[in-house]
A and B are shown apart, each in its own frame.
Chain A
Amino acid sequence: MAMAQYQVKIMLLSFTLLLAVGIAQSGLIFNLDTGELCLQSLQCKSGCCHRKDGVSLARCAPLAAETQKCSPWHLYGVYYHCNCEMGLKCNVKHTIVGVVTNTDFGYCKDPNDP
């Protein structure tokens, strides 16, 4: 009897493990591709969970390239315009309203450019 319980536990454990690995790999919760539904930028491969407006669903999107519109990093983790790509800075004048409503937008700029 004890043996059977032990086996059941092992089976349950390995099943949970398999499920966890499966979920992580298939891109259900983390490691999401561009275009997949997200709640948080951490879930996306690209690092940006983007939505068009306040009522639309958020999807993973590529980061903003140089000269494109962007948002700086934000606590909410969901963006109307994505963060900038590597080495670029989102040039923006912060305002209190902008910080609260997640709407301080700028344009990606290379800080080394003249």
Chain B
Amino acid sequence: MIGILPILFLVGAVKGGEVCYSRIGCFTDNVPWSGTVERLSAQLPWSPEKINPRFLLYTKANNNNFQEISAVNPSTISASNFRTNRKTRFIIHGFIDKGEESWLSNMCKTMLQVEDVNCICVDWVGGSRTLYSIAANNIRVVGAEVAYFVDILQKNFGYAPANVHVIGHSLGSHAAGEAGKRKRGIGRITGLDPAEPYFQGTPSEVRLDITDGNFVDVIHTDAGPVIPNLGLGMSQVAGHLDFFPNGGEQMPGCSKNALSQIIDLDGIWQGTRDFVACNHLRSYKYYTESILKRDGFAGYPASNYNTFTSGTGFPCASSGCALMGHYADSYTKVTSSSQRFYSNTGDQNNAFSRWRYKVSVQTTGASVQGYFHVSLFGPNGNTRQYQVYKGSISSSNTYSGFIDVEMDPGALNRVKFVWNNNVINPLFPSIGASSITVLDGRNGRSYRFCGSGTVREEVLQTLNPC
């Protein structure tokens, strides 16, 4: 009996492992941290010394070179450009990545163009470049360190956690969730495509969820299943506002052939990143672009992408659209449960923003098989031509469709109509648009334009207000 006691003790130690670190406390590998269907293998997070979370501060005074600050030495904070009279935004990277990767500092620099903030990139490269199952546990330490940092800000500097915004990409969004769970009252948490393996379907204490911050917004860009789509992001809703641009699973511009993807305009390194995880990385690109283009990422409430495509939630309510990205917190109708929003984006870097319109065209003239395009003109310029309808076109029917245009033309003052059928017809049929109604998705404002006569194919017809 005495002989088997140590063995029992050992078994117990393996099953209920625990590590404790100074400042940030203990971590167990009990359920739900492991031993569940989602997390079969028992893993404990590495030590803070090994993961070595670093806090790299960018402000308006130093928007090119970071100052490294630390909550362990609060004097480094008071000696830095950190100011308590402005908001603080933390950015946490994910698996394999590092805090000095250009997308984090780019996001900070873009924010500093429009606002005065303390922007802190959180680097945990020491814990992210390892096996996925280990990195997925190391985020607990990263989250605890961020929570500790916020705690020190509150205790030593009287800085309210409500002024803090934590942005996390992939595994980093779960680190943000961990920070929010440990330090209550963090103003906002943004999850940029939160990682799916080891997190989707787990209890809310393990992953990012709606309770982690006063306001939680999530952008889903790679929500397809891991098997067989290799979707790295969660499809599960996790915030007050959950955005699913392009349906959340397949992003435009991500299905290029390998050569075109890797030899990217932004260099081989950015191209290789996209080759590996294009959809997954889109989330932070949308966020960064949204900082400068406030209304270019309006989300429309719908239960799924198909109903959005057919027009559910369009146009936005009079109180305004939910804006995906940086300005998501301006939404006034936040409830205590998750809301889903859908939108479409562009396919090229720095040109992802889109403005959605509903166009209804009443045609006149001959009956043909073909398609027609419409372009919008306003005080800010004009858009490209967008296809509204394709199929059989017959006289005095109304055809409508949604278009996502690449720029905001402002209050519309005219539209142009052009049709084509790519077939040589010796009869030279001609059709026209007798009236076109354009509905602006942002505010429900409606514009009506009238045209006279008909045009041959590939000839532009201008319609003026009526």
Contact = CB atoms under 8 A, between A and B. Distances in A.
A37 B460 contact: no
Interface stretch (A3-11, A70-78, A80-88, A92-100): A80-88
B276 to A, nearest CB: 17
A112 B459 contact: yes
Given A35-B348, A86-B420, A67 B382 contact: yes
B384 interface: yes
Contact of B260 (A36, A88, A110): A36
A37 B258 CA distance: 10
B256 A86 contact: no
A113 B416 CA distance: 11
Given A57-B263, A86-B418, A113 B462 contact: yes
A103 interface: no
A88 B263 contact: no
A109 B385 CA distance: 13
Interface string B232-260: 00000000000000000000010111011
A26 B384 contact: no
A36 B256 contact: yes
Interface string B409-435: 000000010101000000000000000
Nearest to A57: B263
A6 B85 CA distance: 82
B459 A35 contact: no
A91 interface: no
Given A65-B385, A86-B420, A34 B347 contact: yes
B257 A66 contact: no
- Counting chain A CB atoms within 10 Å of each CB, the highest count among B256, B259, B263, B265 belongs to B256
For the residues of B in contact with A, the DSSP-based class is loop
Contacts of B347: 33-35
Contacts of B416: 66, 87, 110
B101 interface: no
Contact of A110 (B348, B373, B384, B462): B462
B403 to A, nearest CB: 13
B382 A65 contact: yes
B381 interface: yes
Nearest to A26: B257
A12 interface: no
Contact of B384 (A35, A59, A65, A112): A65
A33 B252 CA distance: 10
B255 A87 contact: no
A88 B384 contact: no
Nearest to A63: B384
Nearest to A59: B260
B152 to A, nearest CB: 45
Contacts of B200: none
Contacts of B348: 34-35
Contacts of B256: 27, 33, 35-36
Interface in B379-417: 381-385, 416
B383 A65 contact: yes
Contacts of A36: 256-257, 260
A88 B383 contact: no
- Counting chain B CB atoms within 10 Å of each CB, the highest count among A36, A37, A65, A86 belongs to A86
B375 interface: yes
B384 A87 contact: no
Given A57-B263, A65-B384, A67-B382, A35 B253 contact: yes
Nearest to A56: B265
A76 to B, nearest CB: 21
Contacts of B253: 33-35
Contacts of A34: 253, 347-348
Given A65-B384, A65-B385, A67-B382, A87 B257 contact: no
A32 B255 CA distance: 11
Interface string B337-358: 0000000000110000000000
A86 B347 CA distance: 21
A88 B375 CA distance: 12
Interface in B200-230: none
B115 interface: no
A113 B414 CA distance: 12
B18 interface: no
Interface of B: 253, 255-257, 259-260, 263, 265, 347-348, 373, 375, 381-385, 416, 418, 420, 458-462
13 contacts: A33-B253, A33-B347, A34-B253, A35-B253, A59-B260, A59-B265, A63-B384, A85-B385, A86-B418, A86-B458, A110-B416, A112-B460, A112-B461
Given A66-B416, A86-B373, 5 more contacts: A37-B260, A67-B381, A85-B375, A87-B416, A113-B462
Interface of A: 26-28, 32-37, 57, 59, 62-63, 65-67, 85-88, 110, 112-113
